[in-house]
Amino acid sequence: MNLRRLSAALIGSLVAGAALFAQAPQPGTQTVTPKREARAEKRAEKQQQRIAQGVASGQLTPKETARLERQEGRINKDIAKAEADGKITKKEATKIEAEQNRESRRIKRQKHDAQTRK
């Protein structure tokens, strides 16, 4: 049963990551704020990798993984929403960065707590 949840969580993370990159601007359409967008997307990808590494090493339980993935999905939606008009404003970038900071702390706490996958 836990293997099914773990598999579902991994598939969910792959789908969320694919959705994030699928919403990238089409070739030939340059966005106004490529550095802000690249920073947010790169950080989201690194956090996905940290979650996947925690699952692979057994540091994250299926429940912790599902919670982190759900929160990561919310951040990805905010990034997509901010990019929808072709630019990420400073205010949007600040909000996204704050969300990513909170998520990074959550990942660290969950990976280093006493709970492990059985």
pLDDT digits (tens, 9 = 90+) for 32-54: 778 989 999 999 999 999 999 99
| Full-model pTM | 0.71
Q: 12: domain range?
A: 2-111
Total of domains in the chain: 1
Is residue 117 in some structural domain? Answer: no
Residue 94 token pair: 């600040």
Q: What is the pLDDT of residues 52-71, one digit of tens each?
A: 999 999 999 999 999 999 99
Q: Is the pLDDT of residue 29 over 80?
A: no
61 torsion bin: left (phi>0), alpha (psi -120 to 50), beta (else): beta
pLDDT in the model for residue 56: 94
> Angle 70-100-54 (CA atoms, 0-180°, nearest 5)?
60
Is residue 11 in some structural domain? Answer: yes
Q: What is the pLDDT of residues 81-114, one digit of tens each?
A: 999 988 899 999 999 999 999 999 999 999 999 8
